[in-house]
Amino acid sequence: MAKIRLFTTSILFFLSFFLFSQERQHVGNLMDIAIKAKIKKFKENTNFDKAQMFFRQGIWDSTLVYSMKEMSNTKNKELTDYCHYFRGISFKEKKLFNESKKEFNEISNNFQFFYKVKIKLGEIALGQNEFENALQYFEEIEKLPNVSNYDLKKSNVLHNIGLCYLHLKKFDKAEEYLFKSTKLQETEKDTLMLIGSYMDIATLYYEQYKDNQAIPYFEKAYHLSKKAKSFELRRTATKNMAVVEENRKNFPLALAYRKEYEKWKDSLNDQNKVWAIADLEKKFAVKQKQKEVNILEAENKVKAAERNGLLFSSVLLLILFGTGVYFYRQKIKNNKIILAQKNELDELNATKDKLFSIVSHDLRSSVNALKISNTKLIENLETKNFDELDVLLHNNSTIANGAYNLLDNLLNWALLQTKQTYFFQESLHLATIVQHVEYNYKPLMLNKNINYENRVSKTDYVFADLDSLKIIIRNLLDNAIKFSKENGTISIYTRTSSDDFCYLVIEDTGLGMSASTQEELLKETVLLSKKKNDDAIGTGLGMQLCKSLIHKNGGKLEIESEENVGTKIIIVLQKFKDHG
Amino acid sequence: MDNINVLIIEDTPAESDALVKVLTANNYNIVGIATNYNEALKLFYQNPIDIAIVDVFLDGRPDGITFAETINIVPNGLKPFVFLTSSKDRQIFERAKLTKPFSFLLKPFNELEILYALEMAVEKFYGQTNVFVSEEQDTVISDDYLFIKKNKALKKVRIEDIVYIEVEDRYCNIITEAEKFVILISLTKILQFLDPDKFCQTHRNYIVNSSKIEEIIVNDNLVVLKGNHKITLSDKYKDFVKKFRILR
């Protein structure tokens, strides 16, 4: 039981020792030189440069990172081989043996240091207790001709072979190789290796129960280890001695060794503890830093959120303000429109009221005149004064006509305002329409002894609504008669027309009107104007109606007038295009 | 030359009396005065009518329009209508307009206006507008009649009665078996509206009613018509002879 334990410890010890030696080995050797050469050759590959730098400094994680970067960037076989090598070593150092093995297997056979790869693979196999495999690798190396040319220690290889045989219980071979390696190491004066070798030889004998041969080697190893700096080495050597003494039943000595072993173990532990504490402190510091960083990050986030919130709310406020202003302005505009409309409506209402008063006044006076006339009529009938009767009846007829015209205009005006009339523009023979209208006024003109002329062109066709055209001509002719003196002249004629319009002129030699009156009449207004000579004239409704109707027919009204000379009213009407 | 037959549909006696007075004075023939819808239909179908004057409102209902609509349903039964109305109510007009063609007269109206309205109704109905007011033409041609404006009124002549037409400048001499008169119409216009199966041109100046031909003497370039009218047949128009079946 104790022996087995010793055996395992020795192996464990040896492995760690072994690795240590390899790490030290590649500093300042052939490989180093080769790597430097490669850096010069591949200057631009910074990742490779960094990888090798970290590799040489033994910073394995960084090596892994940069070698990976380099591999993803380059297609160069040599460089990838190097990178795989770096990665293999790094993984191995980090005790990730399977990963390491994979990396090593990736390396091509042409690799300059392929034998090193073999050694590493062998070492890994040894570490994983695959002794047969390990042995294969090592023997391949051993068989290499002229080992000194290569950058490796033959003693190590021999030692490892011996170790393999030892584990495979082939003690003869183990003994042979171990001695070979020990001899080499003695010449090389490699104390650390030598201690390991002595211990292994001792273990070899001990395994074979050749205690007498084993013990001197143990002792040798122990004595040598006292000179060595490695606690671990001393510890193992001491422990071995303790076990040996225990087995020899030399308990006091064994106890002494044990104590010494414990001491080394403690010091090792202390060292480990120091390391651990340092590590902990470092971790703590890192954590602290991380916390600070987290806090700062959180603060930043809060600030960003605050800023965003501020920005968002300000934008929102701006939009709100904008819409507020927009609606306020809209409201003001609406109010203005409403106010304008109200004023207009007020004006219109006032006009309507005025119209009412004028119309009713005119009608009242007409009816009153009829009443008076009728009274006279009755009186004259009683006195059988027939001459007077005739005059009075004609007078009545005139009054009735006037009243009728007024009412007719009123009706048409109302219909026009409410847009209830049927309005249909068509081709109309202007001369015929004028004849139709003048027919009703002929007796009136004859009565007033007015000289009437109709010189309307028989070839003019206008595009208008028949009834509105009749209303227009009727009103204008009525006005012309009204403003004419006895023996005056009224003439209706067409002026030379343009392509689009026909000019119908109604000319009289009557009162005429001032420029201001003309302006008043032509004004684009719905207001009715009361004219100067009240007794002769009505409401101005007729003129207004004419204007509206001409406008509706797509025409224009023009006035040429001179006071006490006469008036020319010109109606501009659309021509009917299909007929010249 | 015959007078125009007019049917008056009017429920107010004063109005119809005025109408009758004006129309008879202008040599129109009043075939009847209907005062309601049923009477109107009866009179319309019993008498030969050229124009109907229809008051839109009969007893306060727009029966005048209903009457026109009823007539409108029967194809070819329609005659020229003049609608009388005292208001330009749009709804009524929109309805009346459906009986096309449509002419109307707003009350009150004078003599000239009613005569004009009748002329317009004929013009519009036969699709020959601006005829009677123009100075180039005074005749509207329908399938059966020539409507001729004589003085202020219209007259009509049965197209069947025409023996031949002699064209003289802007005028046409119409020769019927009974009489002879002049109308104002161009040759091209009259040819455009006359039935080419019934009338053929035999000369630059002559249009002949083929049913009135009694003899064609090709050698003498003569066409002898009823009433012993002898018309020249020019070489240019001799082809018309081919239209007749020649007995050999």
* Interacting residues of B205 by C-beta distance below 8 A, sequence separation 6+: B166, B167, B168
Rounded Cα distance between B137 and B148, Å, is 9
CB atoms within 10 A of CB A464: 30
Residue A105 domain boundaries:
2-222
Q: A429 contacts in B (CB within 8 Å)?
A: 130, 133-134
A53-66 confidence digits (pLDDT tens): 787 777 777 777 88
Runs of H (alpha helix) within chain B: 13-25, 37-46, 63-73, 90-96, 111-125, 187-193
Residue of A nearest to B87 (CA): A421
Rounded Cα distance between B114 and A276, Å, is 130
- Angstrom CA distances, B23 to A441, B27, B30, B103, B153, stand at 21, 6, 8, 18, 9
CB contact B228 to A (< 8 Å): no
Check whether B8 has a pLDDT greater than 60: yes
Q: Which residues pair with A198 in a beta bridge?
A: none
CB contact under 8 A, A432 and B106: no
Asked if residue A417 and residue A500 are part of one domain, the reply reads no
CB contact under 8 A, A422 and B130: no
Asked if residue A372 and residue A457 are part of one domain, the reply reads no
Q: What is the pLDDT of residue A525?
A: 62
Rounded Cα distance between B174 and B176, Å, is 6
Asked if residue A477 and residue A405 are part of one domain, the reply reads no
pLDDT band, very low/low/confident/very high, at A26 (cuts 50, 70, 90): very low
Determine the average pLDDT of the residues in A83-95: 80
- Angstrom CA distances, B152 to A277, A289, A432, A536, stand at 137, 121, 12, 37
Asked if residue A175 and residue A131 are part of one domain, the reply reads yes
Asked if residue A322 and residue A193 are part of one domain, the reply reads no
- Select the more confidently predicted residue: A569 or A207: A569
Is the sign of the CA dihedral A74, A79, A80, A85 positive or negative? negative
Percentage of chain A beyond pLDDT 90 is: 24
Check whether A108 has a pLDDT greater than 70: yes
pLDDT band, very low/low/confident/very high, at B169 (cuts 50, 70, 90): confident
- Say what the alpha-carbon torsion angle A321, A324, A325, A328 is, to the nearest 10 degrees: -160
The whole-chain average pLDDT of chain A stands at 80
Of A195, A201, A193, A197, residue with least CA distance to A171? A201
pLDDT band, very low/low/confident/very high, at B54 (cuts 50, 70, 90): very high
Choosing among A436, A438, A439, A469, which should be mutated to test the B contact, i.e. which has the most B CBs within 10 A?
A436
Check whether B187 has a pLDDT greater than 90: no
Is the sign of the CA dihedral A344, A346, A349, A355 positive or negative? negative
Nearest residue, CB atoms, B112 vs list A424, A435, A458: A435
DSSP code per residue over A104-119: HHHS-TT-TTHHHHHH
**Portion 149-208 of B in contact with A at CB < 8 A:** none
Considering the domain boundaries, does residue A428 fall inside one? yes
CB contact under 8 A, A579 and B93: no
- Angstrom CA distances, A217 to A124, A200, A267, A448, stand at 27, 9, 25, 169
Residue B58 is given by DSSP the state: B
Rounded Cα distance between B42 and A151, Å, is 141
Asked if residue A524 and residue A435 are part of one domain, the reply reads yes
Backbone angles phi, psi at A132, to 5 degrees: -60, -50
Residue of A nearest to B105 (CA): A467
**CA distance from start to end of chain B:** 39
Considering the domain boundaries, does residue A269 fall inside one? no
Question: Which tokens sit at A230?
Answer: 């490695």
Rounded Cα distance between A116 and B185, Å, is 131
Check whether B111 has a pLDDT greater than 60: yes
Q: What is the pLDDT of residue A7?
A: 44
Rounded Cα distance between A27 and A155, Å, is 18
Check whether B160 has a pLDDT greater than 50: yes
Check whether A331 has a pLDDT greater than 80: yes
Asked if residue A357 and residue A445 are part of one domain, the reply reads no
Last residue of a domain, one of A206, A222, A238: A222
Determine the average pLDDT of the residues in B217-234: 87
Q: What is the pLDDT of residue A147?
A: 54
pLDDT band, very low/low/confident/very high, at B245 (cuts 50, 70, 90): low
Considering the domain boundaries, does residue A136 fall inside one? yes
A256-292 confidence digits (pLDDT tens): 888 877 777 777 777 778 888 888 999 999 999 999 9
CB contact B89 to A (< 8 Å): yes
pLDDT band, very low/low/confident/very high, at B50 (cuts 50, 70, 90): very high
Of B143, B147, B106, B108, residue with least CA distance to B18? B108
DSSP code per residue over A53-85: HHHHHT-HHHHHHHHHHHHHH---HHHHHHHHH
Amino acid at A122: G
- Select the more confidently predicted residue: B148 or A185: B148
Q: Which residues pair with A570 in a beta bridge?
A: A505, A558
Choosing among A417, A422, A427, which should be mutated to test the B contact, i.e. which has the most B CBs within 10 A?
A422
Q: A461 contacts in B (CB within 8 Å)?
A: 130
- Angstrom CA distances, B218 to B166, B201, B202, B233, B236, stand at 20, 15, 11, 8, 13
Angle at A366 between CA A516 and CA A466, to 5 degrees: 65
Asked if residue A444 and residue A360 are part of one domain, the reply reads no
Nearest residue, CB atoms, A579 vs list B93, B116, B130: B130
Q: A439 contacts in B (CB within 8 Å)?
A: 110-113
Check whether A8 has a pLDDT greater than 50: no
- Evaluate whether B113 touches A436 at the Cβ level (below 8 Å): yes
CB contact B113 to A (< 8 Å): yes
* Interacting residues of A495 by C-beta distance below 8 A, sequence separation 6+: A503, A505, A570
Q: Measure in Å the smallest separation between the Cα of A413 and chain B Cα atoms.
A: 13
Rounded Cα distance between A52 and A71, Å, is 13
CB contact under 8 A, A431 and B129: no
Question: Which tokens sit at B213?
Answer: 């031909």
Considering the domain boundaries, does residue A260 fall inside one? no
Asked if residue A495 and residue A398 are part of one domain, the reply reads no
Considering the domain boundaries, does residue A61 fall inside one? yes
- Evaluate whether B72 touches B52 at the Cβ level (below 8 Å): no
Q: What is the pLDDT of residue A57?
A: 79
Nearest residue, CB atoms, B135 vs list A422, A439, A458: A458
Q: Measure in Å the smallest separation between the Cα of B179 and chain A Cα atoms.
A: 31
CB contact under 8 A, B90 and A420: yes
Considering the domain boundaries, does residue A266 fall inside one? no
CATH of the domain at A113: 1.25.40.10
CATH of the domain at A492: 3.30.565.10
Peptide bond into B108 cis (omega under 30): yes
Among the ranges given (A311-320, A323-332, A506-515, A521-530), the one the predictor scored with the smallest mean pLDDT: A521-530
Size of interface A-B (CB pairs under 8 A): 38
Angle between helices A541-552 and A466-483 (to 10 degrees): 150
Question: Which tokens sit at A45?
Answer: 């590959």
Rounded Cα distance between B65 and B96, Å, is 6
Is the sign of the CA dihedral A73, A78, A83, A87 positive or negative? positive
Rounded Cα distance between A296 and B91, Å, is 85
Rounded Cα distance between A204 and A286, Å, is 48
Q: A427 contacts in B (CB within 8 Å)?
A: 129-130
Check whether A74 has a pLDDT greater than 60: yes
Rounded Cα distance between B236 and B242, Å, is 13
Determine the average pLDDT of the residues in A87-99: 80
The count of C-alpha atoms lying within 13 angstroms of the C-alpha of B96, restricted to the half-sphere facing its C-beta, is: 25
Classify residue A322 as exposed, middle or buried by CB count within 10 Å of its CB (0-12, 13-18, 19+). exposed
CB contact under 8 A, B93 and A422: yes
A527-558 confidence digits (pLDDT tens): 555 544 444 455 677 888 898 899 999 999 99
CB contact B83 to A (< 8 Å): no
CB contact under 8 A, B116 and A420: no
Peptide bond into B75 cis (omega under 30): no
Q: A432 contacts in B (CB within 8 Å)?
A: 116, 133
CB atoms within 10 A of CB A205: 19
Q: Measure in Å the smallest separation between the Cα of B175 and chain A Cα atoms.
A: 30
Question: Which tokens sit at A54?
Answer: 């970290």
Asked if residue A181 and residue A50 are part of one domain, the reply reads yes
Determine the average pLDDT of the residues in A515-521: 81
Residue of A nearest to B92 (CA): A422
Q: What is the pLDDT of residue A237?
A: 76
Among the ranges given (A224-233, A418-427, B28-37, B132-141), the one the predictor scored with the smallest mean pLDDT: A224-233
Nearest residue, CB atoms, A429 vs list B94, B110, B130: B130
Among the ranges given (A111-115, B73-77, B162-166), the one the predictor scored with the smallest mean pLDDT: A111-115
**ipTM (interface predicted TM):** 0.87
* Interacting residues of B109 by C-beta distance below 8 A, sequence separation 6+: B84, B117
pLDDT band, very low/low/confident/very high, at A1 (cuts 50, 70, 90): very low
Rounded Cα distance between B211 and A548, Å, is 59
Antiparallel, parallel or unpaired: β B213-217 and B29-34: unpaired
Asked if residue A320 and residue A216 are part of one domain, the reply reads no
Rounded Cα distance between B63 and B7, Å, is 15
Rounded Cα distance between A150 and A115, Å, is 8
Q: What is the pLDDT of residue A539?
A: 62
- Considering its fold, how many domains does chain A have in total? 3
Q: What is the pLDDT of residue A100?
A: 81
Q: What is the pLDDT of residue A339?
A: 95
Characterise A209 by phi-psi region: left (phi > 0), alpha (psi -120 to 50), beta (else): left
CB contact under 8 A, A579 and B133: no
Among the ranges given (A13-22, A108-117, B11-20, B223-232), the one the predictor scored with the smallest mean pLDDT: A13-22
CB contact under 8 A, B113 and A436: yes
Rounded Cα distance between A338 and A335, Å, is 5
CB contact B111 to A (< 8 Å): yes
Nearest residue, CB atoms, A432 vs list B90, B106, B116: B116
Considering the domain boundaries, does residue A242 fall inside one? no
Q: Which residues pair with B225 in a beta bridge?
A: B213, B229
Q: What is the pLDDT of residue A151?
A: 61
Determine the average pLDDT of the residues in A195-216: 77
For B140, the 3-state DSSP assignment is strand
* b/e map B47-69, b = 16+ CB within 10 Å: eebbbbbbbbbbeeebbbbebbe
CB contact under 8 A, B89 and A461: no
CB contact B86 to A (< 8 Å): no
CB contact under 8 A, B130 and A427: yes
Q: What is the pLDDT of residue B146?
A: 92
Check whether A353 has a pLDDT greater than 80: yes
Last residue of a domain, one of A388, A421, A454: A421
Nearest residue, CB atoms, B90 vs list A422, A461, A579: A422
Tell me which range, A165-179, A244-258, B23-37, is most confidently predicted by mean pLDDT: B23-37
CB contact B22 to A (< 8 Å): no
Q: B134 contacts in A (CB within 8 Å)?
A: 429
Q: Measure in Å the smallest separation between the Cα of A436 and chain B Cα atoms.
A: 6
Nearest residue, CB atoms, B88 vs list A422, A427, A431: A422
Considering the domain boundaries, does residue A547 fall inside one? yes
Among the ranges given (A455-459, B90-94, B168-172), the one the predictor scored with the smallest mean pLDDT: B90-94
Residue of B nearest to A468 (CA): B88
Domains and CATH numbers, chain B: 2-125 (3.40.50.2300), 159-243 (2.40.50.1020)
Q: What is the pLDDT of residue A354?
A: 80
Rounded Cα distance between A166 and A204, Å, is 7
Nearest residue, CB atoms, B133 vs list A422, A432, A439: A432
Rounded Cα distance between B124 and A392, Å, is 45
Element (H, E) at A234: helix A231-247
Nearest residue, CB atoms, B88 vs list A421, A427, A432: A421
CB atoms within 10 A of CB A451: 12
Last residue of a domain, one of A391, A421, A451: A421
Asked if residue A346 and residue A445 are part of one domain, the reply reads no
Q: Measure in Å the smallest separation between the Cα of A460 and chain B Cα atoms.
A: 10
Radius of gyration of chain A (CA): 67
